[in-house]
A and B are shown apart, each in its own frame.
Chain A
Amino acid sequence: MTDFLVDRIDSILFSSWQHFSLVVQCLLLAAVAAVVLATLVYRSPTLSALVNGISAIGLTIPAFALIGLLIAPLGFGVGPAVIVVAFFAALPILRNAVVGLTGIDQSLVEAARGIGMGRVRTLVRIELPLAWPVILTGIRVSAQMVMGIAAITAYALGPGLGGLIFSGLSRLGGANSFESVATGVVCVILLALVLDLLLVGLGRLTTPRGIRV
């Protein structure tokens, strides 16, 4: 095991970094897309319910199947990897953003409008800050989930730690195959922990003191 690690430390670190960077970038993309979509639908109960349904159903699609489906139009490589990871990352964030925005005390929105804040200003200055802790929780859930999904995208030859796991699994019983799988899995778990800590820190920094629990 030690030999395996010492021999490949560079490539393991590189894969880890790739994996991490893929997840963070997809998360960012997903968060922006999900929040924008949520702000477009949250005022309509019908649309909100629809979006919640879609995100619930979407989460039941096996990641593997989606990748398989995307390989045909997009081919192998980073493209399908990014799309799949971002798609799954967006679902919990979308749901939480809608829940967070619709859960705001309507009297506060009324107060904002009543003192002359426009729709956009009310959204940006009042509603989004108040919904932010809920949205951030969605981002954390999402981050944990897509760490694993990003590993699966290695199937489509995307970047990251999935390569270690899948090459090990395909040679199971062969030399270093177990070490390869174990290293991949442990690294994914470690990265997930690190990212969660970073997100908790982000929450501390960005949640206004008045609504911190």
Chain B
Amino acid sequence: MSETTLPSPAAAAAPPITGASILLDTVTKRYPGQGKPAVNGLTLEIPAGKIVMFVGPSGCGKTTTLKMINRLIEPTEGRIVLDGDDVTRIDGDALRRRIGYVIQAGGLFPHMSVAANIAIVPKMLGWSKERIAARVDELLELVSLDPDRYRDRFPRELSGGQQQRVGVARALAADPPVLLMDEPFGAVDPITRQRLQDELLNIQSELQKTIVCVTHDFDEAVKLGDWIAIFNEGAQLVQYDTPERILAEPANEFVENFIGSGAGLKQLTLTRVDEVEVADAVVARPGDLATDVLSRMDAVGHNHSVIVDARNRPLQWLSRRQLGRLERVGAARDPRLPVVGNRATLNDALDTMLVSSVGAALVTGPRDTFRGVIDVDTVMDAIGRAHRHARTAHAQGRPVGVNTGTLEAVQASGAPGVPAAGLAGPERTGE
């Protein structure tokens, strides 16, 4: 089965894609006793090794669509194709052992230890005891839980975030190519949620699974998704595109409403500080003569100077006026220095610079070494550029996503190359 052919994730610098592509082929689900289908003729392509986020209003059929992928809900019509194989008719339990499944709050079995929870699928697949034990420890490490400490605990002895991590570990146990998640971080507090999201991205950059994730939270979709599928009632696909393009070019008013206010601000979470150009600064060291520093500032026309320590870590950020009062630069460290890391989002950077007195922030790289200065203009530039880029980008390799029989949805998200803008169809919300 799947575990035999997978290369070790540590083998190469650029990790190989271990995920499988998924195709929902004109899939329909009618629940008994309901007039309208919950999912109506949906064709959706999910590329291998990518994270696809499902968003949409409550009851629009996200969970139903997700559960049809592992046939926890059997489609009424249509085919499910996994990595080229039609899996619509094969044994459902065997299929589900090849697909990881994570639900809200982890869904851990309270009567089993953490290790036993993780070991369930490998056991069903007939792995040896030693192999299972080694795998459990490996997975606990992967989700940042110390195996010795947590292996023998029971779920109720874990925090919500830890339970969720074990849930992810359990889903990854047999190294499935596909991971399905239904509002996985819905039950944890915002700070834990953010941490878990970051961790999922880290894990994904290592494993390159195909992840399909349902969420209520559009910001989460923007943060995690390579592609976002926005659904309306009856799993009508309204737009299926990259977060950048959805933010820059919402297909219609429904999507605009869904994005909510501040689409521009949301774009800030898409760009990291190390992706924009930072400005140089006049750098000085403790013990330098203040007049020397001032004359260097005059030469380049700067009003501030950054003081760094022997290891190049920023200590102070002095204005002309502050320097004018000194004879020599001091070695004290200013605790309120506005500093952002390389990997921070522009959102974080903007936040930091808005509260700093200078209206800008210092950027640090590996080991907290000083890299440069980022200011509001840099951020505005980056937004403008991202916006233009998203508009002109020829959505290359865009996966297919359509509902049969609804021209509007086809136009809004289908045929590559057809600009989606201006197609706000008849189905407007709130009118």
Q: In the complex the two chains form, is B97's CB within 8 Å of A116's CB?
A: yes
Starting from the known contacts A126-B109, A130-B109, 9 additional A-B residue pairs (CB-CB under 8 Å) come to A110-B103, A111-B108, A113-B96, A114-B70, A116-B98, A118-B93, A129-B111, A130-B111, A210-B156
Cα–Cα, bound, A76→B105 (Å): 59
- B169-203 vs A, CB cutoff 8 Å, 1 = contact: the mask equals 01100000000100000000000000000000000
B113 touches A108 (CB 8 A): no
Chain A's nearest CB lies how many Å from the CB of B49? 22
- Rounded to whole Å, the gap between the CB of B136 and the closest CB of chain A is 15
Quick one: which of A112, A113, A116, A118 has the most chain B CB within 10 A? Answer: A116
In terms of DSSP, what is the predominant structure of the interface of chain B? Answer: mixed
User: Can you name the residue of chain B whose Cβ is closest to the Cβ of A210?
Assistant: B154
Looking at A107, A210, A211, which has the most chain B CB atoms within 10 Å of its CB? A210
Interface residues contributed by chain A, number (CB under 8 Å) = 19
Q: A130-B111, A209-B154, A210-B110 are in contact. Are A117 and B120 (CB under 8 A)?
A: yes
Does A115 interact with chain B (Cβ within 8 Å)?
A: yes
A-B contact count (CB 8 A): 63
Give A210 to B115 CA distance when docked, in angstroms.
13
Set of chain B residues within 8 Å of A118, measured between Cβ atoms: 93
B103 touches A111 (CB 8 A): yes
Contacts of A129 in B (CB 8 A): 111
For the residues of A in contact with B, the DSSP-based class is helix
**B407 on interface, CB distance cutoff 8 Å:** no
Q: In the complex, what's the smallest C-beta–C-beta distance from B166 to chain A, in angstroms? A: 12
Which residues of B sit under 8 angstroms from A79, Cβ to Cβ?
A: none
Instruction: Assess whether B171 is in contact with A115, with CB atoms less than 8 Å apart.
Output: yes
CB distance from B93 to the nearest CB of A (A): 5
Interface presence of A208 (CB below 8 A): yes
A211 touches B110 (CB 8 A): yes
B112 contacts the other chain (CB 8 A)? yes
Q: Given known contacts A115-B121, A117-B120, is B94 in contact with A211 (CB within 8 Å)? A: no
19 contacts between A and B (CB under 8 A): A107-B107, A108-B107, A111-B101, A111-B107, A112-B109, A115-B100, A116-B94, A116-B95, A117-B93, A117-B120, A126-B109, A130-B110, A210-B110, A210-B112, A210-B113, A210-B154, A210-B155, A210-B156, A211-B111
Q: Is there contact, CB below 8 Å, between B93 and A208?
A: no
- Measured between beta carbons, the chain B residues less than 8 angstroms from A130 are 109-111
Cα separation A118 to B94 with both chains bound (whole Å): 9
Binary per-residue interface labels of chain B (73-102) against chain A in the complex, 1 for a CB within 8 Å, 0 otherwise: 000000000000000000001111110110
Residues 43-79 of B contacting A (Cβ, < 8 Å)? 70, 72
Chain B residues closer than 8 Å to A211, beta-carbon distance: 110-111
Q: Which residue, B96, B97, B100, has most C-beta atoms of chain A within 10 A?
A: B96
A115 near B96: Cβ-Cβ < 8 Å: yes
